[in-house]
Amino acid sequence: MVRFVGVQNTVRWIRSTGLETILGELSDYVADDYRRWESFDKSPRAASHSPIGVIELMPTSDGQLYSFKYVNGHPSNPAKGLQTVTAFGVLSDVDSGYPLLVAEMTLLTALRTAATSAMAAKYLAQPDSTTMAMIGAGTQAEFQAIAVREALGIRSLRVFDTDPAASAKLVRNLTPLGFDVYVAEDSADAASGADVITTCTADKANATVLTDDMVGPGVHVNAIGGDCPGKTELDAAILRRGDVFVEFPEQTRIEGEIQQVEADFPVTELWEVVSGKTVGRSSADQVTVFDSVGFAIEDFSVLRYLHDKTNHSAFSVDIDLVADPDDPKDLFGFAQGSDAPVPAL
């Protein structure tokens, strides 16, 4: 039988374990997989674009486990009462090819994106960072803020969203968790005095939510929302002034902020920093940019983590997904069924 962790069980698991604990442990899982980056199969995700959105498949394997995620990105969905990003995914055993786990991944995507941002901030931001700006207060925002607080201990959050209701929701959700939240008038106001700036907006456009003059010396930028061809958030001058860190260059050059610059624009792969092969931040004044698009290995990490934590628990259930005849060559006989009466449909 294949284990299944659906939406309600994911919610129960998060509530019983604690979001901070999950984000901290998941950051460690992502970092462990980044350290063995070279042992994974890697390819840019397969994207099917429409004028208003994208549907993507994201596969990878470390030779023992295989995973893929189905994910969409539709920035106009919230106006229809739907989410911008939803997802589900599978973790399989490479030796048999049999799936082990099927999981909802809308929540898991928010968790793994936040855990990866936190890992990037831990390696690239100034360790004494106290203030974070959050530009875009939608679905991902609270997860991003909590994960970066876990990694750096930031205390103040400055938020800006073009939708005041989204900022109000974030204040409502994060103030009880001890965040000191300031609602800014615009992006410049949010970025003012911030040590870490996270851009997490959704618009299928080459937007400029952050201009170069808003980014002070020493700032670390987590650029999350630019993740599709023709969908960016940063002024290209920020990329030229700072040092840019990416997941998988072959995918990021198509989808990330660096689609705005020349094809051989120099970048550093984040796994090289995490594994100690290269230096991340080298001076207090350096501007660092994590050009995040979301990579399959992060989905692999969160599925591996979820499987480890829920496989033998009540948070996952068996589902009847794989036909399993007693004689593996007699699928036909299996399809005839047993002698038990067939219920009327």
Q: Select the span of 38-46, 58-66, 194-202, 263-271 touching ligand NAD (CB under 6 A).
A: 194-202
Q: Restricting to residues 271-330, which ones interact with ligand NAD according to CB under 6 A?
A: 292-294
Chain centroid to Cα 330, Å, comes to 42
Q: CB atoms < 10 A from the CB of 19, how many? A: 17
Q: Which is nearer to ligand NAD, 44 or 99 (CB)?
A: 44
- What does DSSP say about strands 53-61 and 46-50: parallel, antiparallel, or unpaired? antiparallel
**Residue with the shortest CB distance to ligand NAD:** 138
Among 26, 85, 196, 273, interactor with ligand NAD by CB under 6 A: 85
Beta strands in the chain (DSSP E): 2-5, 46-50, 53-61, 65-73, 87-93, 99-104, 131-135, 156-160, 180-183, 196-199, 206-210, 220-223, 232-234, 243-246, 268-269, 288-291, 317-319
Residue 171 Cβ, how far from ligand NAD at the closest point, in Å? 13
Q: Residue 153 or residue 164: which is nearer to ligand NAD going by CB?
A: 164
CB nearer to ligand NAD: give 287 or 302. 302
CB of 337 to ligand NAD, least distance (A): 43
Does 163 engage in binding with ligand NAD (CB under 6 A)? yes
Helix (H/G/I), strand (E/B), else coil: 257: helix
Q: Does 89 bind ligand NAD (CB under 6 A)?
A: no
DSSP 44: P
Which residues are CB-neighbours of 109 under 8 A, at least 6 positions away?
69, 71, 85, 87, 294, 299, 302
CA dihedral 10, 13, 19, 23 (to 10 degrees): -80
Interacting span for ligand NAD (CB under 6 A) from 31-39, 134-142, 258-266, 305-313: 134-142
> Which residues are catalytic, by number?
227
Nearest to ligand NAD of 293, 302 (CB atom): 293
| One of 56, 161, 235, 299 touching ligand NAD (CB under 6 A) | 161
Backbone torsions φ then ψ of 94, nearest 5 degrees: -65, -40
Query: Considering the rule CB under 6 A, would residue 203 count as an interface residue with ligand NAD?
Result: yes
227 binds ligand NAD (CB under 6 A): yes
Query: Tell me, what amino acid is at 57?
Result: L
Dihedral angle computed from the Cα positions of residues 251, 296, 107 and 158, in that order, rounded to the nearest 10 degrees? -40
Q: Give the residue, chosen from 9, 113, 129, 232, that forms a contact with ligand NAD under the rule CB under 6 A.
A: 113
Check binding of 246 to ligand NAD (CB under 6 A): no
Residue 89 or 294: which CB sits closer to ligand NAD?
A: 294
Structure-block tokens of residue 166: 């989204």
Q: How far is the CB of 226 from ligand NAD (least distance, A)?
A: 7
| Binding residues vs ligand NAD (CB under 6 A) | 73, 75, 78, 84-85, 109, 113, 135-140, 160-163, 166, 200-203, 207, 209, 224-225, 227, 292-294
